[in-house]
Structure 1
Amino acid sequence: MKFVLDNTSIPVPTVHNAYADEDTGHVVIIMDFVEGENLDKAWVNYTEPERQSVIAQLQDYMSQLHSFQGTFIGCIDGTPCQDQYFHSEKENYGPYQTEHEFNEGIVNLMRKQGQYAFTEWRCDVWKDIMKDHKIVLTHNDFDPRNILVQGTKVVAILDWEFSGFYPEYWEYCKAVSRPDWEHPCNRSRAIDQIMRPYYKEISVFWNSGEVIH
């Protein structure tokens, strides 16, 4: 969050301290309180021009974020990937030096679910489609519930604990991997205006998720 605060105009709360609780081992972050309403609640009351205003702000913020390219795949501090995609796994995933290595990590995770012919087919599809992407700084939990607004002004983007450097399609695929499809924000497909859609990649992502999860 400090990197984002120092290098972009993306609104994030100022962090004052962070430490690991000795009893629980959980990381505790002390930051400014930001007054606002979650976008998923505010969206339903917006007019179309108001929605477009919010979309334009988020489009700018995501463009700024994704302009930072990385030389590895993993958390911003160089540690392994912290992602719900691997959340139930005990072993570390990454950091990876190349997209090819990252893909091998995904494929190995799929194969853990069983050496089935269909799994191998999916592995081959993943490796064929998910390649030749830039590695960019990614929020990795971009969802209306993690965006605060005051009126139509975006005042904070929250929950950066999964952020890191990932292939450029990852942000989009994560954002549409498990949404509330019937929510007006998703029915309007605002995400396709906020960032570049990766339709080929999301089709593979959805398919492989059935194996991984």
Structure 2
Amino acid sequence: MFLAAVINVYLYVARWYDIWTGRPSGRVKDLPFGLVLKITNDPSTAHEGHIINFIREHTSIPVPHVVAAIAWYDRRFVLMKRVHGDNLQAVWRHLDTEQRANIVEQLRSFVLQLRALKSSHGPAVCGLNGAATIDSRVSSYPIGPFADESAFNDGLIDAAEPYLCEEILADVRSRMRDDHQIMFTHADLAPRNILVRGGTIVAVVDWEEAGWYPEHWEFVRAMYFPMARPRDEAWMRAIRDFIPEDYEKDWLVDCELSSRMVGAF
């Protein structure tokens, strides 16, 4: 509680300093002593700091070291050690063939490790510890938790209802599978969330949307916003290499909803 109060005072001062200097005020703050502070406002979802610690404890996936994971009323704070590396989105086009192959191999290992984790929530589609989840394509608000994939798919249809007619929604829903396995999923494996040094991944970041999802969801989300426009075809092929199985049909069905929704990235 004391640390949370100190952080809030710091943020209050920093906000007015940013206004005075004209600097943009974001939700990720660089702090002294090699620290980074991330602030979110979703009290019904799993704490990102707890998700990162869960991944660190149960896998070998490189993630930031969490110094403190704090909740203060409706705000969440994750205090982390800064990871020194290049953002993959910035350097992907400059990597050679061997470096790209090494990154794809590492990502495939990471995805397989996530899929090996066992949920204690049965068929539920939910965040860590059964909490609500986030799908930034659909809403800025938390969604779920859902009892199973069928309820999750119904939720996606409901989110698309303002943008599509009943006939199209009914047709799309009839082609959505309700029988995928539920697996732990990062849910935003885009290059902007991967830090590298050459062909070595030093950290996977931004775990706030992670949780227990149908097995195809990692592919759907990775394909949704894989790279700054125009899309990089080499990265699109890489996604198909590091996510096992063929989820093309599931992705194309999802595109019939997401590509027509206002606010799509």
TM-score, normalized by the shorter chain, greater than 0.5: yes
Could you tell me which of 176, 185, 189 is aligned with 1:138? 185
Q: Secondary structure at 2:110's aligned position in 1?
A: helix
Between the aligned residues of both structures, percent identity stands at: 30
Inter-partner Cα distance in structure 1 for 2:94 and 2:148: 44
**Deviation of 1:85 (Å):** 3.1
Q: How far did 1:143 drift?
A: 0.6
After TM superposition, the structure 1 = structure 2 runs for residues 108-123 of structure 1, keeping only pairs within 5 Å, are: 108-113=158-163, 115-123=165-173
Cα-to-partner distance string for 1:96-127 (whole Å, 9 max, x where unaligned) = 2211221222222233446532233223233x
1:210 to 1:152, Cα distance in 2 relative to 1, 3 A = closer
Unmatched runs of 5 consecutive residues or more in structure 2: 1-51
Q: Which of 9, 12, 34 matches 2:60?
A: 9
1:52 matched residue in structure 2: 101
- Give the Å deviation of 1:144: 0.7
Does residue 81 in structure 1 map to residue 133 in structure 2?
Answer: yes
Deviations 1:66-100 (A, max 9, x none): 112432211112111212133245xx532122112
The total of aligned residue pairs comes to 206
Q: 1:124 maps to which residue?
A: 174
Task: Determine the structure 1 residue equivalent to 2:6.
Answer: none
Query: Bigger radius of gyration, 1 or 2?
Result: 2
| Partner amino acid, structure 2, of 1:83 | D
- Greater relative contact order structure (CA < 8 Å, 6+ sep): 1
Q: 1:164 aligns with which of 203, 211, 228?
A: 211
Cα distance in 2 for residues equivalent to 1:39 and 1:115: 39
d(CA) in 1 for partners of 2:235, 2:106 = 20
Which residue is equivalent to 1:176?
223
| 2:95–2:198 CA contact under 8 A, matched in 1 | no
Name the residue aligned to 2:16. Answer: none
Shift in Å, 1:38: 0.7
- Take 2:149 and 2:95, find their aligned partners in 1: how far apart are those partners? 40
In structure 2, C-alpha distance between the alignment counterparts of 1:186 and 1:26, rounded to whole Å: 39
> Any gaps of 5 or more consecutive residues in structure 1?
none
| Letter aligned with residue 11 of structure 1 | P
Other structure's SS at 2:157 match: helix
Counterpart among 221, 232, 237 of residue 189 in structure 1: 237
- Paired with 1:56 and 1:172, the residues of 2 have a C-alpha distance of 16
